[in-house]
Structure 1
């Protein structure tokens, strides 16, 4: 298939690799972006781990919790330009959607769109109305609900990134620890709570890449699997929340930090939405 400059730039933005490297990888992968990422990694490229919503355009991301901190909602509304996203009217509209979500706690974005915005329009109809008013495409691209004994929201300045973290205990000390972990999720972008939450396909890919790199480094083929397993363990430590080094004290993992805060304290769920 034909590889366009837009395709190359998209892969470059996603991985941080050079333009020609990205183009060659896409050609070799016949346009398959995931395969192209693997090709870059197997060739030893330093590929940035920009996961999540890396195709999102402009807009705002809001996280909010209930008064009793037992539930939180996370919502992304995209628009086309930064000019609109920074407008107070747009910000107030996004907040109104968050308020409706908090009041009703729909399970999905489709359920949220079907709720009443006012006496005349549903949320979906109101968004369509605002498209005509603002003159830009709007897209409710992300929505999630998180519940727990304590739920903490973190909104990064500028509202381009927000997180929710649920913990298994309550109290002010737990809430403060949760705030630190919510910031950890924002900064470190874990892909799962622990290694058990990493999907089989991701594990298979990491093992395959690990074996290929070991062979390229001149290691005996019979050792490649063991080396790949070692790299997989490192991958889990870097990319699963409870195993990550705690950013406020890298002598501790997040799991150890929580347990030192209160015995048995842990995260039960987290969500992270980002526009970049």
Structure 2
């Protein structure tokens, strides 16, 4: 029987290792709550210091491009690291390519993370949710709870860091970046991206780019 993991134990492991809360929770579940074993597992995965590195300044890096098959969609991203040495590493280049492909596949993504979503957009979306017909006659506390859940889902859809990685769907882009921080020993930041769609604004088309990219990967 799996031992229930308390929030205090997760925080303890995070303080000892600097790993992310999600990584700590998973490590503790895998070790049935044994902190020492969880620490060892995190170190083996190289995740024990990823979060501590995430506060360091990253001004080096590269600009990577991805052009989808058929040349109808393209992406430019800026991926930053701390030194030119890491910027030249093949693992860093591959990460940049993977993230650019992810942006091409996820048309709903508009921001790197939820922290970048403008406050005015958050308030606007909140007002729309609260005023929806199915919530009008509900008590204020229930209305707010439902609206909050819907907004959480909506903002997750437009945040790149919250997306499941298309090549390995059991991890998110945030977790993918953390793995590379641990692997390369430096802070890594997705600074910005731009998506280009052929004919955008000239005509209306609906293409399932996510499925196209997924099929392309599977057929490699």
With the shorter chain as reference, the TM-score category is 0.5 to 0.7
2:191 aligned partner: 268
**1:99-248 aligned within 5 A:** 149-169=61-81, 170=87, 171-189=89-107, 190-213=109-132, 215-216=134-135, 219-248=138-167
How many matched pairs?
130
Q: Deviations over 1:170-209 (max 9, x none)?
A: 1210110111110110111311111122123321232123
- Structure 2: gaps spanning 5 or more residues: 1-58, 82-86, 201-220
CA distance in 2, matches of 1:191, 1:172: 27
Shift in alpha-carbon separation, 1:223–1:267, aligned structure 2, 3 A? same
CA distance in 2, matches of 1:166, 1:148: 10
1:250 aligned partner: 169
Shift in alpha-carbon separation, 1:252–1:219, aligned structure 2, 3 A? farther
State the SS of the aligned residue for 1:149: strand
Shift in alpha-carbon separation, 1:223–1:194, aligned structure 2, 3 A? same
Shift in alpha-carbon separation, 1:163–1:202, aligned structure 2, 3 A? same
**1:22-37 aligned within 5 A:** none
Tell whether the 8 Å contact from 1:154 to 1:162 is kept in structure 2 after alignment: yes
Shift in alpha-carbon separation, 1:244–1:217, aligned structure 2, 3 A? farther
User: Post-superposition shift, 1:218?
Assistant: 6.2
More relative contact order, 1 or 2 (CA 8 Å, 6+ apart): 2
Shift in alpha-carbon separation, 1:159–1:215, aligned structure 2, 3 A? same
Tell whether the 8 Å contact from 2:66 to 2:97 is kept in structure 1 after alignment: yes
Tell whether the 8 Å contact from 2:165 to 2:176 is kept in structure 1 after alignment: yes
Bigger radius of gyration, 1 or 2? 1
Q: Deviations over 1:37-76 (max 9, x none)?
A: xxxxxxxxxxxxxxxxxxxxxxxxxxxxxxxxxxxxxxxx
RMSD (Å) for aligned C-alpha atoms: 2.3
Give the structure with the larger strand fraction.
1
CA distance in 2, matches of 1:249, 1:206: 31
- Structure 1: gaps spanning 5 or more residues: 1-146
Shift in alpha-carbon separation, 1:217–1:251, aligned structure 2, 3 A? farther
Q: TM-score, normalised by structure 1?
A: 0.43
User: Post-superposition shift, 1:236?
Assistant: 2.0
CA distance in 1, matches of 2:103, 2:175: 16
Q: TM-score, normalised by structure 2?
A: 0.52
Q: Deviations over 1:212-244 (max 9, x none)?
A: 347448643332122212222222221111122
